[in-house]
Amino acid sequence: MDTFLGIFSAFGLSASAGLNAYIPLLTVGVISHYFPNLLHLSQPWDLIANPWILLLLGVLVIIEMLADKVPAVNHLNDLIQTLVRPAAGAIAFAASAKVITDVHPIVALACGLLVAGTVHTAKSAVVRPIVTATTGGAGNVPVSIAEDVVSTIISILAIVLPIIMAILLIILVVLVYLWWSGRKDKRQTA
């Protein structure tokens, strides 16, 4: 059971990194640093809990949050984050998967990269352009705030309550599939 919870936690954290690269890493670092009984990171991932790394991650969270709220800068930020978010997802997945189970590091990094990359692609290539087009850009700030809140909640739940995180991820996948298939059907009938 611990193996499955560790995997669910890893998937949740990497999905969260697709929305905001630094929130899940900061969450993992803070929880590991202040609550080592709840989350103990093995080497080399324990560096995430270093106070200097936590400070750096805190600054990066603030920079990403602010950059994502400024028109035009948010598009440049998404372009830069196309490399950063999947890498952060890979690190979050590998660090959290290693806590519970002995997942091969390459497999863990690849899974995290794919999950975070998929979430980031959906966000920056599908959701944000639709929001920008339908609201004239006015909806980007509220959507960005919602993404930050969701990323924070998912990161915390992935560590504290991974079984709930697993259920939420399954629901999310089903909803995305239903939305995508409905969109595909509309294109075929048009």
Model confidence at 98, pLDDT cuts 50, 70, 90, reads low
pLDDT of 169 strictly over 70: yes
- Which residues does 19 contact at the CB level (< 8 Å), separation at least 6? 85, 119, 120, 123, 147, 148, 150, 151, 154
- For the chain, what is the mean pLDDT? 87
Residue 190's pLDDT is what?
A: 60
User: For residues 129 and 142, what is the distance between their CA atoms, to the nearest angstrom?
Assistant: 14
Q: Poorest-confidence range of 5-14, 42-51, 169-178, 181-190?
A: 181-190
Residue 120's pLDDT is what?
A: 93
Q: Poorest-confidence range of 99-103, 152-156, 181-185?
A: 99-103
Please identify which residue in the block is written with the tokens 């509220």: 142
User: For residues 65 and 98, what is the distance between their CA atoms, to the nearest angstrom?
Assistant: 29
Averaged over 50-55, what is the pLDDT? Answer: 96
pLDDT of 56 strictly over 90: yes
User: For residues 22 and 178, what is the distance between their CA atoms, to the nearest angstrom?
Assistant: 29
Model confidence at 86, pLDDT cuts 50, 70, 90, reads very high
Identify the sign of the CA torsion 127, 151, 97, 77: positive
**Residue 137, Ramachandran bin (φ over 0: left; ψ between -120 and 50: alpha; else beta):** left
Structure token digits, residue 95: 């660090």
Residue 100's pLDDT is what?
A: 55
Count other C-beta atoms under 10 Å from residue 136's C-beta. 9
Percent of the chain with pLDDT over 70: 91
If one compares 62 and 103, the residue with the highest pLDDT of the two is 62
Structure token digits, residue 9: 């936690």
Q: Give the start-to-end residue ranges of the domains of the chain.
A: 2-189
User: For residues 2 and 96, what is the distance between their CA atoms, to the nearest angstrom?
Assistant: 12
Residue 3's pLDDT is what?
A: 67
Contact 10, 108 (CB under 8 A): yes
